[in-house]
Amino acid sequence: MKKWKYLTMTAVMGSALMLGACGSDSAQNGNNAETNAPADSGQDTADKKLQGAVAGDGSSTVAPIIEAVVEEYAGTQPNVKVSVGVSGTGGGFEKFIAGETDFSNASRHIKDEEKAKLEKAGIAFTELPLAYDGISVVVNPENDWAKDLTVEQLKKIWVEDGKPKKWSDIDPSWPDEKIVYYSPGTDSGTYDYFDEVILDGADLASSATLSEDDNMLVQGVAGDKNAIGFFGYAYYQENKDKLGIVNVNGIEPTNKTIESGEYAPLSRPLFVYVKNSAMKESEASYDFIKFTLEHAGEMAEAVGYVSLPEDEYSKALKTLEGLK
């Protein structure tokens, strides 16, 4: 898989993408970005060169899609500076609420308390879908026992029960070795989603190494025979030569099973939340988000996620147009 580099983009293309770690004007959705966008479509718009700045933050899971979009966008609008942090879905919403960003990338729906804070701050927002993801449970390649886990087994593995847990505690035929855990951080939408559908709100194993940087999780699992972790499908795809994938309830995460929802309950949509006022007042912001929606499907597939049906992108573009 092609790996886009932020520093290269900044130096060569003039767009900056800075990584950190995965109410509305007419609806209620949120994030902030500053970019200038053409108000109409067609050849005149395509030839129009904009200037401005767009700022975003949020999910490390969504980051590979946006990273690819930013690189492509720099080729069409080199005078627009796009900066995107990756502090996790929750961290991104915090910055969105504080008015620091124009858009926010999210691997879960916005929470009611986040909506309330945005309303209090006077920030109207709109949720726009980007792609599908399947949270991938991974183990070390030398792990030849935990290849297919049920949801109940995953819960038993990951829920904190007050004592060190061994693989043999899950199945007596498995090794009498302590389980080593790697998990997204608590600001991550991936963490929140896993907590909701697997842990049922119970505490995650207290010995887990938490990080907003999914590449650190990859390295941790790849380096320990007794390790287990989870993160977005694209990070597994990029590192499948050094990781083992776990089937969940007998289903392997693939483009087909993720899109169909068969890979349940770990299939999920990915989003970008936009600040309505930025879409209305900043031509650059509107143009960048429009470009993102027009290319999200292609970029999602390129970096290892699953594109939405084409009509979903058409609906999202129509929604965005209504914010102008």
Tell me the pTM. Answer: 0.81
What is the reported pLDDT for 19? Answer: 40
CA–CA gap between residue 62 and residue 51 (Å, rounded) = 25
Q: What's the chain's length in residues?
A: 324
pLDDT score for 47: 56
DSSP string, 258-324: HHHT-STTTEEEEEEEEEHHHHHH-HHHHHHHHHHHHHHHHHHHHHT-BPPPHHHHHHHHHHHHTT-
Residuewise pLDDT in 10s, the chain (324 residues): 334 433 333 333 333 344 433 433 333 443 333 334 444 444 444 457 899 999 999 999 999 999 999 999 999 999 999 999 999 999 999 999 999 999 999 999 999 999 999 999 999 999 999 999 999 999 999 999 999 999 999 999 999 999 999 999 999 999 999 999 999 999 999 999 999 999 999 999 999 999 989 999 999 999 999 999 999 999 999 999 999 999 999 999 999 999 999 999 999 999 999 999 999 999 999 999 999 999 999 999 999 999 999 999 999 999 999 999
Cα dihedral angle (87, 91, 92, 96), rounded to 10 degrees?
Answer: -140
| pLDDT for res 73 | 97
Residue pair 10/71 in contact by the 8 Å Cβ criterion: no
The whole-number pLDDT of residue 319 equals 98
Distance CA 105, CA 62 (A): 6
